[in-house]
Structure 1
Amino acid sequence: MLESVRFAGQCVELWHWQLAPGVTYEAEPDPPGSQEMLYIISGELVLTLDGLLRPLVTGTSIAFASDQPYRFHNPGPFMLRFSKNVLLAAE
């Protein structure tokens, strides 16, 4: 995590992530109403959300509700680098 700011009972986080080739990260749901935004800096990311695979490549982004289980996977042969902004709803 690079930065975190709290205001009005919510928290915004800025992350820089890296996943090695073949690595998968299983995420736990955030509090109800939470959101995430991803921007792929380099590499490939497969986001699994609602049972659907959503492939993302360098230069693409996505926003989604993070109050559900989701998964990040690096299917490529190179290091995956991406930024992640999280808006955590008040619990």
Structure 2
Amino acid sequence: MSAGERTDVLACVGANVRRLRAASGLSQSELATAAGLSRRTIVNLEAGSANVSLSSLDTIADALGATFVDLVLAPAATPERIDALLWRGDADDSHAVLLGSAVAHREGQLWVWSLGVGDRYDANPNPAGWHEMVLVTAGRLRIERESGDMTLELGDHAVYGSAQQYAYVNAGSEVTRFVRVVLS
């Protein structure tokens, strides 16, 4: 991540923390106490200059009655397409990108799927409130949905409500592989 990307993410997180703290009527000191952090950390975070851990952001979100995504979501982003680089390790190849988020009430299921050339899977609608997150790891996947079709290329993802008719279709000339998370 470049210095500019780091600054943009920190500025966004800082603005969100400041907005949510003000909306909850907490002072910086009260938020710091509730989150088990120093007041200086909250001041610097709101100024966009503190680099806090992901677990500290979880703690701050909990203290604000918010979610992790509420803290990191950029103004132009949606929970379905966050695409935020939120962690960078010491090695150049070490990083974590939050792609998307959906609300879950009961459970999450992690699946690995494979579709041969020309194959498809037709699904029945899930109950209201269910969501799916799909990440293509090989090939090309078309998701045909009542709310509109989408074609995902290698490395692309989608987050959508699955309380609708939908189908997975191999839209390429090679085996399509994808990771699917079902949230109920």
- 1:10 is aligned to 106
1:53 corresponds to 2:149: yes
In structure 2, runs of 5+ residues without a counterpart are 1-103
- RMSD of aligned C-alpha atoms? 1.5
Distance, in Å, in 1 between the alignment partners of 2:128 and 2:106 is 12
TM-score (norm 2): 0.42
Q: Which protein has the larger Cα radius of gyration, Structure 1 or Structure 2?
A: 2
More strand by share: 1
After TM superposition, the structure 1 stretch with the greater mean CA deviation from structure 2, 9-18 or 31-40, is 9-18
Gaps of 5+ in 1: 1-7
Whose helix proportion is higher, 1 or 2?
2
Query: Percent identity among equivalent residues?
Result: 32
1:26 equivalent to 2:100? Answer no
Residue type at the aligned position of 1:14? L
1:50, distance to aligned residue in structure 2 (A): 1.6
Which residue of the partner structure matches residue 72 of structure 1?
Answer: 168
Residue identity opposite 1:17 in structure 2: W
* SS of corresponding position for 1:10: coil
Change (3 A) 1:67 1:41: same
TM-score, length of structure 1 as denominator length? 0.83
- What amino acid is the match of 2:141? L
Tell me how far apart the structure 1 counterparts of residues 124 and 107 of structure 2 sit (CA, whole Å): 17
Q: Which structure is higher in RCO with an 8 Å CA cutoff and minimum separation 6?
A: 1
State the AA in 1 paired with 2:157: S
Q: Which runs of 4+ in 1 moved over 4 A?
A: none
